[in-house]
C-alpha cells in the first residue's frame, strides 16, 4: 500500500471508478468536494471529525452495546497514512458509568445532499465487533452528535439513516459478509430495505465501500460493483427522508447485535485508507439530446411508453402527465426505457405529455412530446397464473399469483419460483396510496396475506416484494376485481343464460333476465353504487348519462348471483 496519495493517484482512481460504474449508477458524480487522506501521523484531524462520546439517556449506547466511545488517542489515531479506529478491552469510567470496552465514534463535520462516498478500509472480524460506515440526517435529534445542537429537530428514523457498510451482526452469514441498509419511518430497526454481498478476506484485504445517492435512488457498491439499490416506487416522508443533508459516521461498536465478545478479546481495529465524497459542482448546461417517445403495447388498462434520450450526466429523467395524473421515471443515457402507465379505463382516449430532463434540470429542446393512445376492451381479470415481469430487480424463473374473494375479504397468495434465492421474505405492496405489509409464510417460498373489508366490484392493485440475501425483486402490479372468480362476467355469455347487450354500451343496456323479480346493483370502478332497484325479466337500463369507463352490474334472483362487467363508451 502506498501511504501518500498524490493527485495522480486520485485522478487514476477516479478514472477507474467512472469507467467501471458509468453504466451502473444512475448519476455519475465527478468532482471531489471533501476528503480525508489521513496522510499525517498522530491525532485525528479536528477540522474534519468530531468525537461523539456522550452516552444516550439511560447510560448505555443503543442495541445493548457494551462500549464507551472516547476521544482517547488510543482509540483513534493516524499512522503511516491510515486512520485507525480501535476497540479495546479495558475498564473505563466516563459520565459516571463504568464499562469494560472502549472504542471511537467519529462524526464528519461535513454534511451534504446527493453524491458519492468512497471509503477504502480493512475491517475487524473478531466475534462481538460491529464496525460500521454509515450516515445520519444532519437534522437528527441525538444528544451529543456534532450537528444536534444547531440542526437536531427530527427524531430517528424520520431523519433517515443510510448504512453504507456494517459487519459482524449477521451470525447466519459468512464471516466475509457485509450489508447495506436504509432506515426510514416505513421500515426501520430490522429493516427490509437492505442488501448484502460476500467480500474476500475482510480482515486482511482493503475494500472500497461506496454509496451513490441521487434524487432518484441510492446504490451501494463493493469495489465499484453495485450489489443493492434502494428505489421505492413512492418517495415521500415515510419512504424517502433522503432529500436533506446527511453526515458520515465511522465507528466500532461492541456486543449487542454483534453477539458475545470472546473472553480472549484484547483489541481490534478498523483501518481506513481514505474517505472521499464526490458531487457535481461544475455547472451542467448540456440538455438531454436525441429525445424520442413512442407508444408501445396497449391493453384495456395499460399503455406502454417507449422513451429514450442521451445526456452527459449518464442519466435522464422522464416526466409524464396525463389527465390529472403525473409520474416520472429514470433511465441510463441512450437506453430505451419501457414505462407502463396502468390503472387506465378501457376503450378510453388518453393524451400523454412527456418531457426529458437531466439531474440539473436541463430540459430537452423538443419537450414536451405529446402522444395519444386508446385503451382496448378489457375482457380479463387476473385471478391466478404465472408471470416473470418485474417492476424492480428481476426474476430468473418467475412467480405464481392467486387472488380469491371470500365475503368482503381477498386472500392474496404469491409463490417465488426462483431457486437461486435464500432467506426469502415477502411484503405486499398496495399501489395507491402506497403501503407495505409483511406476508405470512405458508411453506417454502409461498406467502399469503388477506386484506379485509373490500368493496365487491371494486378494483384493487397489488404487487409483492420478495426480499432475500443480496437483494430484492418486485413483481408487476396486478389488477383484480373484488368478487370476481374469473369465470363470471364474460360479456354476452353466462351459465345462467341471462343476456346483457350491447356491451360495450353507449346509451341503453338491454337486460333479459330469468325471473319476474330481479335485484340489480350497478357500481362504478371505485365501488360506488350508481343504481339499485328491483326489475322485471325485461329491463332497459339507461346509461347515456354515465361517464365512459368500467362498471359492474350484479344481478340477484332465484337462480343465483351473476356479476357482469359493463363497458360504457
CB-based burial, 244-277: b 16+ in 10 Å, e otherwise: eebbbbbbbbbbbbbeebeeebebbbbbbbbbbb
pLDDT digits (tens, 9 = 90+) for 420-457: 888 999 999 998 888 899 999 998 999 999 999 988 87
Per-residue pLDDT at 7 exceeds 50: no
Distance CA 417, CA 445 (A): 8
Contacts (Cβ under 8 Å, ≥6 apart) of 368: 321, 353, 354, 355
Looking at residues 63-84, what average pLDDT do you find? 97
Are residue 156 and residue 269 in the same domain, yes or no? yes
Three-class SS of 365-432: CCCCEEEEEECCCCCCCCCEEEECCEEECCCCCCEEEEEEEECCEEEEEEEECCCCCCCCEEEEEECC
CA distances from 119 to 105, 141, 497 (A): 16, 26, 71
Residues 157 and 141: beta-carbon distance below 8 Å:
no
Residue 492 covered by a domain:
no
d(CA 458, CA 454): 8
Q: Are residues 81 and 192 in the same domain?
A: yes
331 and 263 share a domain? no
Q: Rounded to an integer, what distance in angstroms lies between the CA atom of residue 117 and that of residue 106? A: 16
Q: Does residue 452 sit in the same domain as residue 303?
A: no
pLDDT of 324 higher than 80: no
Instruction: For residue 263, give the CATH number of its domain.
Output: 2.60.120.200
Q: Is residue 92 part of a domain?
A: yes
Highest mean pLDDT among 54-68, 88-102, 427-441, 505-519: 88-102
Work out the pLDDT band at 22, boundaries 50, 70, 90: very low
Nearest to 521 by CA among 567, 473, 477, 557: 557
User: Minimum mean pLDDT among 71-85, 122-136, 317-331, 424-438: which range?
Assistant: 317-331
- Tell me whether strands 67-69 and 97-103 are parallel, antiparallel or unpaired: parallel
Q: 356 vs 125, 314, 365, 458, CA distance in Å?
A: 47, 13, 9, 35
Q: Which residues pair with 108 in a beta bridge?
A: 49
Which domain covers residue 343, as residue numbers? 289-374
Distance (Å, rounded) from C-alpha 308 to C-alpha 328?
A: 14
Looking at the fold, whether 167 and 302 belong to one and the same domain comes out as no
Which DSSP letter does residue 257 get?
A: G
Enumerate residues 6+ apart whose C-beta is below 8 A from 394: 473
46: its cell numbers: 479536528
- Does residue 25 lie in a domain region? no
Q: Is the pLDDT of residue 298 over 50?
A: yes
What's the rounded Cα separation, in Å, for the pair 539 and 120? 77
DSSP per-residue codes, 39-82: -SSBS--TTTEEE--PPPTTSS-GGGB-EEE---TTTEEEETTE
Q: Report yes or no on 157 lying in a domain.
A: yes
Locate 461 and state its grid cell.
392493485
A 10 A CB-CB count for 435 gives 13
Domain match, 59 and 170 both? yes
Can you tell me the mean pLDDT for 271-294? 93
The CATH number of the domain where 470 resides is what? Answer: 2.60.40.10
**38 and 102 housed in the same domain:** yes
Kindly report, residue by residue over 179-206, the tens digit of the pLDDT.
999 999 999 998 999 999 999 999 999 9
Edge to edge, the sheet with strand 369-374 lists 325-332, 315-322, 349-357, 369-374
pLDDT (tens digit per residue) in 35-46: 999 999 999 999
Strand, coil or helix: 136: strand
List active site positions: 161, 166
pLDDT band at 3 (very low <50, low <70, confident <90, very high): very low
| H or E stretch at 357 | strand 349-357
Ranges 96-100, 388-392, 393-397, 486-490: which has the least confidence:
486-490
Of 27-36, 164-173, 489-498, 507-516, minimum mean pLDDT range = 489-498
Residue 173, domain member (yes or no): yes
> Is residue 223 in a domain?
no
Q: Is 477 exposed, middle or buried (0-12, 13-18, 19+ CB in 10 A)?
A: buried
Average pLDDT estimate for 110-138: 98
Q: Taken in order 343, 347, 349, 351, is the CA torsion positive or negative? A: positive
CATH number of the domain to which 509 belongs: 2.60.40.3080
Q: pLDDT at position 33, please? A: 97
Looking at residue 379, its pLDDT comes to 52
**502: which residues sit within 8 A by CB, 6+ positions away?**
509, 510
Is 102 in the same domain as 250?
yes
Flag the least confident range among 33-42, 57-66, 106-115, 149-158: 57-66
| Domain identity same for 445 and 363 | no
For residues 489-505, one letter each, b for 16 or more C-beta atoms within 10 angstroms of the residue's C-beta and e for the rest, the string is bebeebeeebebeebeb
Provide the pLDDT for residue 492. 32
pLDDT of residue 306: 96
What SS3 class is residue 550? strand
CA atoms within 13 A on the CB side of 435: 8
What's the mean pLDDT when you consider all of the chain? 88
Total domains present in the chain:
4
CA distance 566 to 217: 41
| Separation CA 300–CA 489 (nearest Å) | 15
Comparing 77-86, 187-196, 301-310, 342-351, which segment has the lowest mean pLDDT?
A: 342-351
pTM value surpassing 0.75: no
Same domain? 179 vs 127? yes
Calpha distance 478→461 (Å, rounded): 5
Closest CA to 334 of 366, 360, 365, 356: 356
Q: Is the CB of residue 248 less than 8 Å from the CB of residue 117?
A: yes
pLDDT value at 563 more than 70: yes
Burial of 179 (0-12, 13-18, 19+ CB in 10 A): buried
Three-state secondary structure of 312-367: CCCEEEEEEEECCEEEEEEEECCCCEEEEECCCCCCCEEEEEEEEECCCCCECCCC
Q: What is the per-residue pLDDT for 341?
A: 86
Q: What percent of the chain has pLDDT over 90?
A: 59
* 19 — pLDDT class (breaks 50, 70, 90): very low
Q: Given this model, what pLDDT does residue 11 score? A: 45
pLDDT category at 550 given cuts 50, 70, 90 is confident
The mean per-residue pLDDT over the stretch 515-524 comes to 85
Show the CA angle centred on residue 108, arms to residues 271 and 159, nearest 5°.
Answer: 120
Each residue of 130-164: pLDDT tens digit?
999 999 999 999 999 999 999 999 999 999 999 99
- pLDDT value at 490 more than 60: no
Q: Which residues pair with 307 in a beta bridge?
A: 293, 337
Tens digits of per-residue pLDDT, 447-483?
Answer: 999 999 988 878 888 999 999 987 889 998 888 888 7
Give the phi and the psi of residue 203 in degrees, each rounded to 5: -75, -25
Same domain, 145 and 41: yes
Residue 56 pLDDT greater than 90, yes or no: yes
Is residue 1 domain-resident? no
DSSP, collapsed to helix, strand or coil, labels residue 569 as coil
Give the Cα separation of 183 and 132 in Å (integer): 15
- Same domain flag for 399 and 322: no
Amino acid at each position: 500500500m502506498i501511504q501518500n496519495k498524490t493527485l495522480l493517484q486520485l485522478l487514476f482512481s477516479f478514472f477507474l471508478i467512472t469507467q467501471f460504474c458509468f453504466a451502473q449508477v444512475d448519476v455519475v458524480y465527478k468532482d471531489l468536494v471533501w476528503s480525508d487522506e489521513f496522510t499525517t501521523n498522530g491525532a485525528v484531524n479536528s477540522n474534519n471529525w468530531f468525537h461523539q462520546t456522550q452516552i444516550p439517556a439511560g447510560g448505555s449506547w443503543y442495541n445493548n452495546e457494551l462500549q464507551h466511545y472516547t476521544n482517547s488517542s488510543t482509540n483513534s489515531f493516524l499512522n503511516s497514512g491510515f486512520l485507525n479506529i480501535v476497540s479495546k478491552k479495558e475498564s473505563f469510567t466516563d459520565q459516571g458509568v463504568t464499562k469494560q470496552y472502549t472504542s471511537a465514534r467519529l462524526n464528519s463535520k461535513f454534511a451534504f445532499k446527493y453524491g458519492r462516498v468512497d471509503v477504502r478500509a480493512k475491517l475487524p472480524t473478531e466475534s462481538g465487533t460491529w464496525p460500521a460506515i454509515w450516515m445520519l440526517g444532519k437534522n437528527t435529534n441525538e444528544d451529543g452528535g456534532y450537528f444536534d445542537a444547531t440542526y437536531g429537530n427530527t427524531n430517528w428514523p424520520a431523519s433517515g439513516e443510510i448504512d453504507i457498510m456494517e459487519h459482524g451482526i449477521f451470525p447466519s452469514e459468512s464471516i466475509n459478509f457485509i450489508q447495506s441498509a436504509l432506515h426510514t419511518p416505513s421500515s426501520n430497526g430490522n429493516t427490509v430495505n437492505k442488501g448484502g454481498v460476500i467480500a474476500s478476506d475482510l480482515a486482511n484485504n482493503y475494500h472500497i465501500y461506496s454509496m451513490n445517492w441521487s434524487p432518484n435512488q441510492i446504490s451501494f457498491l463493493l469495489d465499484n460493483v453495485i450489489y443493492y439499490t434502494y428505489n421505492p416506487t413512492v418517495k415521500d416522508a415515510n419512504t424517502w427522508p433522503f432529500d436533506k443533508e446527511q453526515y458520515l459516521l465511522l465507528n466500532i461498536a461492541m456486543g449487542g447485535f454483534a453477539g458475545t465478545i470472546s473472553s480472549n478479546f484484547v483489541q481490534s481495529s478498523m483501518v481506513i485508507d481514505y474517505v472521499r465524497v464526490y458531487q457535481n459542482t461544475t455547472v451542467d448546461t448540456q440538455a438531454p439530446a436525441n429525445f424520442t417517445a413512442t407508444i408501445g403495447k396497449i391493453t384495456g388498462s395499460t399503455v406502454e411508453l417507449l422513451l429514450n434520450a442521451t445526456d452527459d450526466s449518464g442519466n435522464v429523467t422522464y416526466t409524464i402527465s396525463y389527465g390529472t395524473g403525473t409520474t416520472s421515471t429514470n433511465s441510463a443515457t441512450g437506453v430505451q426505457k419501457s414505462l407502463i402507465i396502468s390503472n387506465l379505463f378501457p376503450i378510453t382516449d388518453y393524451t400523454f405529455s412527456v418531457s426529458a430532463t437531466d439531474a440539473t434540470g436541463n430540459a430537452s429542446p423538443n419537450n414536451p412530446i405529446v402522444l395519444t393512445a386508446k385503451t382496448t376492451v378489457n375482457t380479463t381479470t387476473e385471478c391466478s397464473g404465472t408471470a416473470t415481469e418485474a417492476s424492480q430487480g428481476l426474476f430468473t424463473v418467475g412467480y405464481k399469483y392467486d387472488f380469491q374473494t371470500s365475503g368482503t375479504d381477498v386472500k392474496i397468495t404469491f409463490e417465488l419460483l426462483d431457486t437461486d434465492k435464500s432467506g426469502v421474505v415477502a411484503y405486499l405492496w398496495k399501489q395507491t396510496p402506497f403501503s407495505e405489509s409483511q406476508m405470512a409464510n405458508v411453506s417454502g417460498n409461498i406467502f399469503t396475506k388477506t386484506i379485509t373489508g373490500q368493496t365487491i366490484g371494486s378494483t384493487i392493485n397489488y404487487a409483492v416484494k420478495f426480499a432475500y440475501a443480496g437483494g430484492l425483486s418486485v413483481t408487476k402490479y396486478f389488477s383484480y376485481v373484488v368478487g370476481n372468480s374469473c369465470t363470471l362476467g364474460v360479456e354476452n355469455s353466462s351459465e345462467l343464460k341471462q343476456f346483457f347487450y350491447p356491451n360495450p354500451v353507449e346509451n341503453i343496456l338491454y337486460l333479459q333476465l330469468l325471473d319476474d323479480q330481479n335485484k340489480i346493483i350497478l357500481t362504478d370502478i371505485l365501488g360506488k353504487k350508481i343504481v339499485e332497484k328491483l326489475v322485471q325479466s325485461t329491463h332497459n337500463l339507461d346509461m347515456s348519462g354515465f361517464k365512459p369507463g368500467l362498471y359492474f352490474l350484479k344481478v340477484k334472483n332465484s337462480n343465483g348471483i351473476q356479476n357482469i362487467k359493463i363497458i360504457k363508451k
